[in-house]
């Protein structure tokens, strides 16, 4: 959420930043509502002061024995009390309207974010690894002979419908090994705090990180009003919801492996083959809570943590800076990491790492305090480290052999009991 004082101080800059994101200027609407809210608050406070003065006069009239004046003033106090209540209700109503309006306004991009309308305008910042030269036409993951026994689309459809997956045998174990490898690397090498969190959350937590109110159709709500998390960003970031933490406890760096759930609203017809785009999937998520002055450096650090996973697995990738028109709602700057998928002959997103500034912190009322100083809002960051299913796809496609087997990255061998390949029959060998 935005700082209303910053909008008052420089409405033109606010509108210009929104325009870079393709959002219509909103400062006039915001400030008109803010002015009405402040006027209502002032009127309520003035009426309350009048009520207090009249209440004192009631006491004086009673003490003087002037019964007529006492009754008149007592009636006046009653009228003032009702008037104050109505004015306070109006001020509260306008405050809610302003909050609701600001809740739907996206974050403002940093000045160095490239301008653009969509993914075609993203800017490549880094490329690592050379795509393998195959002496045969590489297949997509679900077409590889050794993978086919381990990916059960028919049973998944029977159990749950489209865009779900059942994994068996060696493929299921590779999937599990990838998640464990990611967690161990982030904890032991990158210094993140391993965390286990719920996948059902209260709606306030979804508001805190920006999934609500605007993007409710992208997630699943239960009948009792809880929400299934679309990412552990929701739970990890909200650990500091409503808290004022000590500055010397920052940065806080969390990592969690969770199930994630997305309705994929608006993606009909996209990536329907295989397991690239699922309603239920697993992700290893990173979240950092920092001082404001440290968040940009932390963004680069988190990006390097995600890149390091791919490098350890020997998977070629590229990192792009998202343009203003392609960034997520809560981000001020986002780095997308795209892994090479030879079956598609394309780079595909496997991680997004975003710095949000104080945007989420204001929604959560999450602050920090320096010794002897005043509380201020923390900065929050989040990023995939990585999407486990997409990483599985990349491992299978990049390691595939002409006979339908798959050579597996050396980093996974200890997690597979020393096994080094998926045979053409679908067993680990």
Q: Is pLDDT of 356 > 90?
A: yes
Instruction: Choose among 387, 429, 402: nearest CA to 175.
Output: 387
How far is 247 from 252, CA to CA, in rounded Å? 10
3-state SS, residue 125: strand
Q: Would you call 293 helix, strand, or coil by DSSP?
A: helix
- Feature table: binding site: 231-233, 262-264, 285, 349-352, 384
pLDDT of residue 269: 64
Spatial distance between the Cα atoms of 169 and 153, rounded to a whole number of angstroms: 14
Instruction: Provide the percentage of residues in the chain whose pLDDT is more than 90.
Output: 86
pLDDT digits (tens, 9 = 90+) for 239-258: 999 999 999 999 999 999 99
Rounded Cα gap, residues 99 and 139, in angstroms:
50
Over range 87-95, report the average pLDDT: 93
pLDDT value of position 264: 79
Q: What DSSP string runs through 375-423? A: -EE-EEEEEEEEEHHHHHHHHHHHHB-TTS-EEPPGGGGGGGTT--EE-
CA nearest neighbour of 357 among 301, 268, 291, 409: 291
Residue 123 has pLDDT above 90, yes or no: yes
DSSP conformation letters of 316-381:
-EEEEEPPTTTS-TT-SEEEEEEEEETTTTEEEEEEEEEE-TTHHHHHHT-EEE-TTS--EE-EEE
DSSP secondary structure letter of residue 106 = P
Residues marked as binding for ATP?
Answer: 262-264, 349-352
Q: What is the mean pLDDT of the chain?
A: 94
pTM assigned to the model: 0.92
Examine the residue annotation and report whether 352 is marked as an active-site residue of this protein. yes
Same fold, 4-103 and 119-422: no
Q: Does residue 176 carry a catalytic annotation? A: no
Residue 52 has pLDDT above 80, yes or no: no
Question: Strand 252-261 vs strand 193-194: parallel, antiparallel, or unpaired?
Answer: parallel
**Angle made by CA atoms 8, 14, 17, in degrees to the nearest 5:** 170
Contacts of 27 (CB under 8 A, 6+ apart): 7, 11, 12, 14, 15
- How many Å separate Cα 336 from the centre of its chain? 14
Stretch 67-71: mean pLDDT: 65
The reported pLDDT for the residue numbered 24 is 96
Per-residue pLDDT of 125-155, as tens digits, reads 999 999 999 999 999 999 999 999 999 999 9
Mind listing the pLDDT tens digit for each residue in 193-244? 999 999 999 999 999 999 999 999 999 999 999 999 999 999 999 999 999 9
> Comparing 101 with 87, which gets the higher pLDDT?
101
Per CATH, the number for 119-422 is 3.30.930.10
Q: Where are the beta strands (DSSP E) in 147-246?
A: 151-152, 166-167, 193-194, 200-201, 220-221, 227-228, 244-246
SS3 assignment, position 288: strand
Q: Which runs of E-coded beta strand occur in 49-170?
A: 123-128, 151-152, 166-167
Does 73 score more than 80 pLDDT?
no
* Mean pLDDT score, 273-299: 96
| The pLDDT value given to residue 335 | 98
- Predicted pLDDT of residue 61: 64
Task: Look at residue 412 in the predicted model and tell me its pLDDT.
Answer: 98
Residue ranges for the known binding site for L-serine are 231-233, 285, 384
Closest CA to 381 of 110, 114, 19, 23: 110
The ranges assigned to domains in the chain are 4-103, 119-422
Active site residue 27: no
- Mean pLDDT computed over 52-67: 69
Which residues have a Cβ under 8 Å from the Cβ of 44 and sit 6 or more positions away? 84, 87, 88, 90, 91
The predicted model gives 386-410 an average pLDDT of: 98
- The answer to whether 318 is a known catalytic residue is no
Detail the DSSP E strand segments found in 179-316.
Answer: 193-194, 200-201, 220-221, 227-228, 244-246, 252-261, 280-290
**Catalytic residue (one of 352, 367, 405, 421):** 352
Q: How far apart are CA 345 and CA 133, in angstroms?
A: 11
Query: Does the pLDDT at position 69 exceed 90?
Result: no
The pLDDT value recorded for residue 218 is 94
CATH number of this structure's domain 4-103: 1.10.287.40
Q: Is the peptide bond before 251 cis (omega within 30 degrees of 0)?
A: yes
Of residues 277, 318, 348, 362, which has the active-site annotation?
277
**Which position among 45, 69, 83, 349 bears the catalytic label?**
349
Most confident of 83-92, 194-203, 256-265: 194-203
CA nearest neighbour of 405 among 415, 392, 417, 396 = 396
Residue 169 has pLDDT above 80, yes or no: yes
- Residue 301: pLDDT over 70: yes
Cα 255 from chain centroid (whole Å):
14
List, in order, residues 6 or more apart from 65 with CB less than 8 Å away.
none
Catalytic residue among 20, 37, 262, 301: 262
Among 55, 57, 83, 51, smallest CA distance to 69 is for: 57
Mean pLDDT of 364-383: 96
Question: Which residue's structure tokens are 């020997």?
Answer: 314
Q: Which of 37, 252, 390, 421 is catalytic?
A: 390
In the predicted model, what is the mean pLDDT of residues 376-393?
A: 98
CA distances from 166 to 89, 160, 177, 258 (A): 54, 10, 16, 17
Please indicate whether residue 277 is annotated as part of the active site: yes
């Amino acid at each position: 959420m935005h700082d209303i004082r910053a909008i008052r101080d420089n409405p033109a800059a606010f509108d210009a930043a929104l325009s870079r994101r393709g959002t219509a200027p909103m400062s006039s609407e915001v400030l008109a509502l803010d002015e009405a809210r402040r006027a209502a608050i002032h009127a309520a406070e003035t009426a309350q002061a009048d009520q207090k003065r009249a209440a004192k006069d009631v006491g004086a009239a009673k003490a003087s024995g002037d019964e007529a004046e006492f009754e008149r003033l007592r009636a006046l106090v009653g009228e003032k009390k009702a008037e104050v209540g109505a004015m306070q209700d109006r001020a509260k109503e306008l405050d809610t309207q302003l909050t609701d309006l600001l809740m739907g306004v996206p974050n403002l991009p940093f000045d160095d974010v490239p301008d653009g309308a969509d993914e075609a305008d993203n800017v490549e910042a880094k490329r690592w690894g050379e795509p393998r030269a195959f002496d045969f036409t590489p297949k997509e993951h679900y077409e590889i002979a050794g993978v086919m026994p381990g990916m059960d689309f028919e049973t998944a459809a029977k159990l749950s419908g489209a865009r779900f997956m059942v994994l068996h045998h060696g493929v299921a174990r590779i999937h599990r090994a990838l998640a464990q490898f990611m967690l161990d690397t982030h904890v032991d090498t990158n210094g993140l705090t391993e965390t286990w969190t719920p996948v059902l959350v209260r709606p306030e937590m979804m508001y805190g990180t920006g999934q609500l109110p605007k993007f409710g159709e992208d997630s699943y709500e239960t009948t009792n009003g809880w929400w299934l998390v679309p990412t552990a960003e929701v739970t990890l970031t909200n650990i500091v919801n409503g808290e004022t933490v000590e500055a010397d406890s920052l940065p806080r760096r969390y990592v969690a492996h969770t199930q994630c759930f997305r309705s994929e609203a608006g993606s009909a017809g996209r990536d329907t083959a295989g397991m690239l785009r699922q309603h239920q999937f697993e992700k290893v998520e990173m979240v950092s809570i920092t001082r404001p002055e440290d968040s940009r450096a932390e963004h680069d650090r988190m990006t390097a943590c995600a890149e390091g996973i791919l490098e350890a697995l020997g998977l070629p990738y590229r990192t792009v800076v998202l343009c203003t028109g392609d960034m997520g709602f809560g981000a001020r700057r986002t780095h997308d990491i795209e892994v090479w998928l030879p079956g598609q002959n394309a780079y595909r997103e496997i991680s997004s790492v975003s710095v949000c500034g104080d945007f989420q912190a204001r929604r959560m009322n999450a602050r920090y305090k320096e010794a002897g100083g005043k509380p201020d809002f923390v900065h929050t960051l989040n990023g995939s480290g990585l999407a486990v299913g997409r990483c599985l796809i990349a491992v299978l496609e990049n390691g595939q052999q002409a006979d339908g087997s798959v050579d597996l990255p050396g980093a996974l061998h200890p997690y597979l009991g020393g096994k080094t390949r998926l045979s053409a029959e679908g067993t680990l060998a």
